[in-house]
A and B are shown apart, each in its own frame.
Chain A
Amino acid sequence: MRKKILFLTLTLAAAGAQAQILPFLSKRGPQQPVVQGIDALRAEFAAQSGGTTIYYAPGNAVLTPPSRTVLSAQAAWIRRHPEMVVRIEGYGDTGDTRDHALAIGAKRAEEARDYLVLMGVPMAQVSTTSWGGERSGLGRAVTILVR
């Protein structure tokens, strides 16, 4: 019987099934840790920190009080998830010249990273880049992406 159950488990695992569809098995061992997919983690990160995008005033990289609130909440979440890395992507202002947009986007991303690090996030968990004005949709902002 044991062999059969083990065999069944392996088959299901190979088929990519999740353990929760066999509740009678989980009763036998200790409680399995909840495995969250990356999408669920991203959703939780966004929900618990109040968003993944923060905005800046035109032409500068100074963090506003609302941005600091969001970043503080993000830092708390990232500290609880040492297995995750985040990537901060900066954007320039609409209508800015190309290189200045790249530079100000990079500066905005650096400011956000510095704040996360100040809030206790290890440097190794955060990387930055800048899209300047090279991607449509976002301007005067950084997005904080969990990966």
Chain B
Amino acid sequence: MKRLTLAFLLVTVGTAAGAQQSAPSATVVEIPPLTSPDEGTRGNEMLQIGWEATQLIASDLGQTAELMPLKPKREDYVSYPEVTAPSFGKWRPLGAKLLLTGFVQSRSDGRIAIGCYVYDVGKGTELARKGFVLPKSDWRRAAHKCSALAYTAVTGSPGMFDTRIAYVSEKGTGDAKVRRIAFMDSDGYNHKYLTSGNSIVLKPRQSPNASQLAYVSFESGKPTIRLLDVGTGQERPLVPIDAINFAPRFSRDGSQIAFSMMLGPNSDIYSVGAGGGMPRRLTTSPAVDTDPSYSPDGSKIVFESDRSGSQQLYVMNADGSNERRISFGAGAYATPEWSPDGQWIAFTGRSQYGRRIGIMKPDGTEERYLTNGPADEAPTWAASSREIMFARFGQGARWTLYRLSLSGGDAQQVAIPQDGSDPDWSGAMD
């Protein structure tokens, strides 16, 4: 039996050789219940966690367009040695191309170890494995990481299962509306409110691992960005300057925040270190420049500007040099966000059709619209770069959140306790 590698949220020991790039049809996955080496009462407790984790993994993968999990069955129980040495002959007749096995083990320090393994059933080879040690109450996070392991093995893209969605929770309409920054796991669990609702709040933006959150608050009477450490609850103004500033966004490595600020007659784009320091001005046009978003390697920024007379998308180097326009279609373009894989820029298009969500390549080619509007806004990418969440203004003058797969199909409404706008989808949490 192979030795199990265990460490808290350890990086993959050997990822898949990108089995298929984009599956024309979904890859079928068999997930026997996660087993346990433990015995007695403790063993039963671990098996129960394992069974719940198994169902969560199946639910995660069932939501993707690329994978199709077979419904987990308790009687498909495998022994602990079979986790690392599966008898492929048993699984081949079921038609699954992929097998995901795993175990849950109690530890003397009160925490648990969860390991999971992904195999190519046809070839009888291991594609990837991961192990985690974590408090018992955090088993969901390990299960999400196991889902991501299988998803990455098939698609080559990072999974969006252990990610967090921040948004503006809205209650009521008009000027009586109460708005709070909220966040939740991408499957809707662990929903929390981060602000009290005493002042208008907008545009939460998380650092890629969701440990920090920048948002816009009107508490001082004018819109300014506040930076919140999610773990400690400590908060500070992003910049020590008495000027209107808004539209924050982290770079993909979390070190920089680009934002808009009014230090003069119009809004320009600035960047500042996430740890503090003086902001650096990146744009100087006399027009409104806003909504910056970094490329995944941090070398470029896409933003919107009305310098041509209407809002259009521009790309520049992260130091502000080499600005060039990339949008040339009919109407106006706003709220760009660069996809985590660098391939696409999602945007809000404004035209006679209203506001619609679209995507284009970073050079402006291959533009296409994903929604029909008429009041869709603020797209944000999943870590997988294969899904987009956005806000829709509709019935009863209320905002709701929707989730959309690039592979097609209708946008699905996201279940949240109240109304919601300004979604922000984090990368995988550490």
Contact = CB atoms under 8 A, between A and B. Distances in A.
Interface of A: 59, 95, 97-100, 102-104, 106-107, 110-111, 114, 128-130, 132, 134-137
Interface in B200-254: 200, 202-203, 218, 221-223, 244, 246-247
21 contacts: A59-B310, A95-B350, A95-B355, A95-B375, A97-B334, A98-B421, A99-B247, A99-B334, A100-B311, A102-B202, A102-B247, A103-B247, A103-B260, A103-B267, A103-B288, A107-B265, A107-B288, A114-B265, A130-B223, A134-B202, A137-B175
Nearest to A113: B265
Per CB-CB distance, the 6 closest pairs between chain A and chain B, nearest first, are A129-B222, A103-B267, A97-B334, A103-B288, A99-B247, A136-B174
A98 B202 CA distance: 9
A95 B306 CA distance: 16
Contacts, number: 85
B339 interface: no
B174 A97 contact: no
A98 B260 CA distance: 13
Interface of B: 174-175, 200, 202-203, 218, 221-223, 244, 246-247, 260, 262, 264-267, 288, 290-291, 304, 306, 309-311, 334-335, 348, 350, 354-355, 375, 377-378, 421-422
A103 B222 CA distance: 12
A100 B334 contact: yes
B223 A102 contact: yes
Chain B residues touching A, majority SS? strand
Contacts of A132: 223
A110 B202 contact: no
Contacts of A128: 222, 244
A106 B262 contact: yes
A106 B310 contact: no
A110 B288 CA distance: 12
B334 A104 contact: no
Given A110-B265, A129-B222, A99 B174 contact: no
